[in-house]
Amino acid sequence: MNNIILVGMMGSGKSTIGKIVADKLNMKYMDLDQMIEQMQGLTISRIFEMYGEEKFRTLETDLIYKISDVNGAVISTGGGIVLNPVNTIQMKQTGTIFYLEGSLEQLRSNLEGETDHRPMLKANSLDTILRVRSGLYTSTAHHIISINNQTKEAIADQI
């Protein structure tokens, strides 16, 4: 399938960069977190509060399957998408996967004032999450793009 899929940590800029790439390439833009919020009529934070992380992960996996016939889209994913190997297998069949790789310092700086609507950060520190996931992002991605000290435009150009 002719899609571009962005994976990476919270704060790596997947949504903003995804929109820029979609504009530049004249492709559709899809944001999985936003789609889950629309389908459930609830914010991600409320989904975590009401039903817990496990339910959210099930919704993510269901959606990955639902979009498997999409073509010509830039798709940004939630940071935890790589936690389930089933998602990874499905994404590899859906498009070319780019990991937006950022250092802990860069991610912390990007997330300043942006942590309220990120339920994972209530129970876990950013460095622990990064440590657990960095190998998963790397093994999932076809391409790794560094976001450190780069403008979002420059990152989009590389993609």
Please report, as ranges, the residues that interact with ligand S3P according to CB under 6 A: 10, 14, 33, 44, 78-80, 118-120
Minimum distance, C-beta of residue 141 to ligand S3P, in the bound complex (Å) = 15
| Beta carbon nearer to ligand S3P, 27 or 126 | 126
15 marked as binding residue: yes
Q: What is the rounded (10 degree) CA torsion for 117, 119, 124, 125?
A: -10
57 marked as binding residue: yes
150 marked as binding residue: yes
11 marked as binding residue: yes
Minimum distance, C-beta of residue 10 to ligand S3P, in the bound complex (Å) = 4
DSSP calls for 61-123: HHHHHHGGG--SEEEE--TTGGGSHHHHHHHHHHSEEEEEE--HHHHHHHTTT--TT-THHHH
52 marked as binding residue: no
Separation CA 15–CA 148 (nearest Å): 16
Minimum distance, C-beta of residue 114 to ligand S3P, in the bound complex (Å) = 8
Q: Measure CA 95 to chain center.
A: 14
| Beta carbon nearer to ligand S3P, 34 or 150 | 34
Q: Are residues 43 and 56 in contact, defined by beta-carbon separation less than 8 angstroms?
A: no
| Beta carbon nearer to ligand S3P, 2 or 82 | 82
* Residue nearest ligand S3P (C-beta atom): 78
Separation CA 31–CA 35 (nearest Å): 6
Minimum distance, C-beta of residue 70 to ligand S3P, in the bound complex (Å) = 19
- Numbered residues of the known binding site for substrate: 33, 57, 79, 133
